[in-house]
Amino acid sequence: MTVMLRQTLCVCRQIPASLRRTVPHFCVRLIQNSAVDRTNVIQVPKRISHQIDKLQKSRGPIKWRGRLFNAYPGKELISAKRKEFNYYQNQTYDKFKPSKLASDGWKHKRSCGDHFTILAFRGNPSLQDKEDDTGTPSNFAAFNLNEKLLNALETMDIESPTKIQSAAIPSILRSRNVLCAAETGSGKTLAYLLPILHLLLWEMATHGRVTQAGRPRCLVLVPAWELAQQIKFVAASLLKETCMVARHLDGSKSTKSLRHSFLTPADVIVSTPGSILNSLRQKFMTLEDTTHVVIDECDTMLDDSFCSSLLNILRRMHISATAQSKKKPFAETQLVLAGATMPKKAADTLKDILPERALEIIATSHLHRIMPHVSQKFLRLHSQDKAATILKIVTKDNKQNKPIMIFCNDVSTCNWLAWFLEESNINVLRLNGDMDPEKRLGIMRSFQKGVCSVLVCTDIGSRGMDTIQVQHVVNFDFPNFMSDYIHRVGRVGRVGSRGGDHVTSFVVHKWEVDLVQKIERAVRMRESLPKVNANIKNKLLQRLMDQEDSSMFS
C-alpha cells in the first residue's frame, strides 16, 4: 500500500507551490523524498489536474515576499535603504490599496538619513526606436525640407529626427496651428524652427516675399532673455547658407539702441513679450507682415505672469482658424505653441484668439512622466547636514570632471551656497535673477564651454537652456512645484547627452515630503505625475495669504 501511494503521489512534484496546500502534508513529504518510477504511468487525480490547468491558463499574479508580480520580478526600479520598499518591473499593486512608499514617515524627524533611488531602467523615450517600422521618417530629408536647412543640420551633426520632431514637422509644414508638448530635452526648438524657416524660404522663392525693416515675418516669444539668445543662435545656425536674418530683440537696452535694432530687416525676431510690446507701443515695429508666431515654454507664457502681455500681442494679429488659403496665403498668422508640460487651460486662455477646434495638439506618450533614462535619488536630511552633503557631492564630481548644476529656491541661498563652495576651494559659477541679462548670458556660456564645471543657480537656469554637457543635477532646495521639478531634472538626459546622468534631491521640510510622495507613487502606480499644470503665480500668492492668515490667528 505504501509503495502504491508513493508511486501515485510522486508525479505531483510538478504541482505549483500555490496548489500544494491542497495536498495533505504527509503526502508532500512523501513527494519530496521519493524517487520517480517512470516505468509506471499513473494519472494525476482529476480534481488536482483541473486546478493545475486553471492556474496555467489564468497566469495570475505571483506572490513573493508579500508582493504581487505579473511574472518574475524583473528589473529593480526603486532601490530603497529599507529593502522591503524596493520596487520591481513586474510588481503590481491593488488599485484599492494605496502602495507602501519608501518615503512614508519622512515627515517625522527620525526619518533623517533615509533615502531611495528611482533607477534608470530604459533608454531615452524622445529617440525613435531603430526597429520602428511604422513609416516614421528616419531622416530629415523625408520631410522635403529646403536643401540649405538640411545642409545646416549636417553641419550641426544632427542626423535623425526625434519623436516630437517627426510628429510636429509635417503639421507645421501644412500651416496648421499646433500645440507641441514633449518631455524636456526632446528637440522641440528644431521641431518648430525647421518647418517655419522652410515656409519662409518657400515664400521668398515662390512669391518673392522680402522682409522689410521693422516688419518681421516670424515672431518667437519666450519667457527668459537667455532662452531668447539660445533660440536666436539655433535659428541663425540654420539660416547660415541663406540670406535670411534671425535677431534677438534685447529690451534691456536704451530706447535709442532699441530703435536702432529695427533699422535693418530681420526675418525672425526672438524676444520676451515685454520687449515686443514696448517696441510696438513706440512704433518701432509692426506685426502686419507676421505670418508665423511661436510661443515657447507655453506653460509659463500662459501663466498669469505673462498671459496679459501675450494676449495683447496676439490680438494685434489675425490668427488663422484653418490652414493658409492659397488665394490669400499671407493674410493670416500661424500659431505654434511648444512646452515640456501641457497647459490644460490653453484653449480657455486663447478662446478669444483662436477656436479650440483650430488648435491641433501633438504630444509624446512620455509627457508628464518620470524620465526613465535618468537615475533620481532622494535624500532625507536635517537642514544642518545639507552643507556637508553638498560639499561631499561636488568634491566627488569635480574629481571625475562631471559638470553639475545645483538649484536653489531663492537668490540669497544661491549667493550663500556659491560663497560656501568657493571658501572650500571649489571653482563655482553663480546664476540668478539679480544679475543683468548680459552677465547671465556670459556665465551660462562659460559653463557650457567647460570653463567651470559647477553652476549654482535659481530656477532661471531650469527652463529651455541647452545643457547637454551636464551629468548631475542637485536640488539643494527641493522645488515647490511639480513643473519646477520636471524642468530642473530636464537639464540632464537630453538628446545627444553622454548618458549616465543622474539627479540628487535634498528633502528637509515637511511640505517637501508631499511632493516627493507624489513622485514616488506615480512611479509605483505607472501613472503620470500629478498637478503638473499649476498656476505658479497664483499658488505663490495663495501660500503668502495662508501664511499671513496663520500668523494673524497664532
| CA distances in angstroms from 122 to 157, 165, 341, 362, 488, listed in the order given | 24, 21, 21, 23, 20
Size of the chain in residues: 554
* Position 9 confidence tier, pLDDT thresholds 50, 70, 90: very low
pLDDT at position 425 is 96
Mean pLDDT to the nearest integer, 104-113:
94
Mean pLDDT to the nearest integer, 104-130:
92
Place of cell 486553471: 54
| CA distances in angstroms from 32 to 28, 49, 464, listed in the order given | 6, 19, 64
* Residue 444 φ/ψ, nearest 5 degrees: -65, -40
pLDDT at position 150 is 97
* Position 40 confidence tier, pLDDT thresholds 50, 70, 90: low
- Which residues lie below 8 Å from residue 360, measured CB to CB, with a gap of 6+? 171, 176, 177, 178, 179
- Which residues lie below 8 Å from residue 446, measured CB to CB, with a gap of 6+? 429, 452
Better-scored residue on pLDDT, 8 or 345: 345
At how many degrees (to 10) do helices 225-238 and 147-155 cross? 110
Mean pLDDT to the nearest integer, 146-170:
96
Give per-residue pLDDT as tens, 227-238.
Answer: 999 999 999 999
Tell whether the model's pLDDT for residue 552 goes beyond 60: no
| CA distances in angstroms from 360 to 154, 179, 180, 365, 488, listed in the order given | 30, 6, 8, 16, 28
Mean pLDDT to the nearest integer, 306-317:
93
Q: Nearest-CA neighbor of 489 among 388, 320, 366?
A: 366
Residue 517 is placed in which grid cell? Answer: 510622495
Give per-residue pLDDT as tens, 439-493.
Answer: 998 999 999 999 999 999 999 999 867 899 999 999 999 999 999 999 999 999 9
Q: Which CATH architecture has domain 140-363?
A: 3-Layer(aba) Sandwich (3.40)
Q: What is the DSSP letter of 374?
A: S
Position 332, amino acid: E
CATH code of 85-125+371-548, in short, is 3.40.50.300
Q: What span, in angstroms and rounded, lies between the C-alpha atoms of 162 and 180?
A: 13
Q: Are 238 and 149 in contact (CB under 8 A)?
A: yes
Better-scored residue on pLDDT, 47 or 68: 47
Residue 266 is placed in which grid cell? Answer: 530681420
Domains 85-125+371-548 and 140-363 share a fold: yes
Tell whether the model's pLDDT for residue 141 goes beyond 90: yes
Tell whether the model's pLDDT for residue 549 goes beyond 90: no
- Which residues lie below 8 Å from residue 176, measured CB to CB, with a gap of 6+? 323, 334, 360
* Residue 99 φ/ψ, nearest 5 degrees: -70, 145
Kindly list the domain boundaries of the chain, sorted by start residue.
2-59, 85-125+371-548, 140-363
Mean residue pLDDT of the chain comes to: 85
Place of cell 534677438: 248
Least confident of 273-277, 363-367, 537-541: 537-541
Mean pLDDT to the nearest integer, 495-517:
94
| CA distances in angstroms from 14 to 4, 41, 44, 54, 61, listed in the order given | 19, 15, 10, 15, 19
Helices (H), ranges, 286-334: 298-301, 307-314
Q: What is the DSSP letter of 459?
A: G
* Position 57 confidence tier, pLDDT thresholds 50, 70, 90: low
Q: In what order do the strands lie in the sheet with 292-296?
A: 246-248, 268-271, 218-221, 292-296, 334-339, 177-181, 359-363
Give per-residue pLDDT as tens, 490-503.
Answer: 999 999 888 889 99
Give per-residue pLDDT as tens, 277-299.
Answer: 999 999 999 999 999 999 999 98
pLDDT at position 258 is 87
End-to-end CA distance of the chain: 84
Q: Are 414 and 408 in contact (CB under 8 A)?
A: yes
Place of cell 544642518: 384
| CA distances in angstroms from 417 to 424, 430, 501, listed in the order given | 11, 9, 23
**DSSP H or E segment with residue 443:** helix 437-448
- Write the DSSP string, 155-223: HTT--S--HHHHHHHHHHHTT-EEEEE--TTS-HHHHHHHHHHHHHHHHHHHH---PBTTB-SEEEE-S
- Which residues lie below 8 Å from residue 237, measured CB to CB, with a gap of 6+? 152, 155, 156
- Write the DSSP string, 475-523: ESS--SSHHHHHHHHTTSS-TT--S--EEEEEE-SHHHHHHHHHHHHHH
Least confident of 70-74, 263-267, 431-435: 70-74
* Position 154 confidence tier, pLDDT thresholds 50, 70, 90: very high
Q: Are 88 and 73 in contact (CB under 8 A)?
A: yes
Q: What span, in angstroms and rounded, lies between the C-alpha atoms of 140 and 465?
A: 24
Give per-residue pLDDT as tens, 167-177.
Answer: 999 999 999 99
Q: What span, in angstroms and rounded, lies between the C-alpha atoms of 327 and 219?
A: 23
